[in-house]
Amino acid sequence: MLSEVRHSNNACCRILAGTFGRAGQIYPGLTKAPLPLAIDDEYLSTTEEGRQPDGIPSRLELVHITAKTMEVVEEMRNALRAPSLKIKHWDEDVTVPDPTAVLRVNSLIDDLFQGLPPHLRHNANYSKMPLNDDEVKFFQTQTHAIRFRLLMVRVFLLRPSLLAEGGRWTTGGSGQLQTASSALQERLHLEICGLCLKTINDVLEEIYRGLTQNSGISAWYALHCKLILLCPSLS
C-alpha cells in the first residue's frame, strides 16, 4: 500500500508539473520504491500476500505503466541533452537533435504500447472479459489516460526535431541546398518530423474520442493540450 501511495504521488506531481510548466518537486532519485503488486484491495490479505484472481484485470496496472512512463520521460530528457547533429542549410549550420538518440527513446514508447495488457489496449474488446459496466467504464478511462500520456511523451520527444526543421526552411539564403554530412542521419531526421506530425494528429483524435466518450478528460485540459500541439506545429 505504501508503495502504491508513493508511486501515485510521484505521478501526480510530475503530471501537474508538466501541465502547468513548472519544475517537479520530487526528484527521480528519490522515487526508487518497488512497484506495488498488481493486486486490488479487495483481494489483499492480512495473513498472506494475497492474489489477484485469474482473468480479473487489476486496477493497479495503471500504477505500473505510469511508473514505466516516467522512466521513459527521464530517458527522453537525456536524449534531448545528447550532442546535436549539424545539418547544412545554405550558408549556415542548423542544429537538430541526434536522430539516433531520439529514435532509441521512441522505441521505448513503442515497447510500452506493445506491452500493455489486453484490457488497457486501444479498442479493447471488453465483451470477452468478466467485467460489469462500471468496470468497463473504469478501464476505458484508464486506457484513454495511458494512450494520451504516451502519445504526449512522444510528441515532446519528436517536436524539437520538427521545430528545428521548420527553422531550417525559414532561414534565408541563396545558392544550392547542401545535404547533411550523413545522408542516413538526414533521412532519419525527416522521418522523425513526419512521425511527429502523425502523432500530433493521433493525440487530437484521442482528445476528441475522450470528450465524446466521456473518458475523464475535461474540456479545459483538452483545449490546453490542443494549443500546446498546434501552436508550435503552425509556427
* Closest-CA residue to 67 (of 93, 90, 44, 34): 34
Cell numbers at residue 137, please?
Answer: 467504464
Could you give the CA distance from residue 49 to residue 45 in angstroms, rounded to a whole number?
6
Could you give the CA distance from residue 67 to residue 111 in angstroms, rounded to a whole number?
14
Q: What is the pLDDT of residue 172?
A: 54
pLDDT tens over the chain, length 235 residues: 555 555 555 666 666 555 555 555 555 555 566 777 778 778 777 777 778 888 888 888 888 898 888 889 889 988 888 877 776 655 566 788 888 899 999 999 999 999 999 999 988 888 888 888 888 888 888 898 899 889 989 999 999 988 888 776 665 544 444 444 557 777 888 899 999 999 989 988 888 777 666 655 666 566 656 566 655 544 4
Each domain of the chain, given as residue ranges in start order, spans 61-234
Q: Are 163 and 232 in contact (CB under 8 A)?
A: yes
For residue 44, give every residue at least 6 positions away whose Cβ sits within 8 Å of its Cβ, in sequence order, or none: 50
Q: What is the pLDDT of residue 151?
A: 93
Q: What is the pLDDT of residue 84?
A: 79
Q: Are 94 and 164 in contact (CB under 8 A)?
A: yes
Cell numbers at residue 45, please?
Answer: 490479505
Q: What is the pLDDT of residue 88?
A: 61
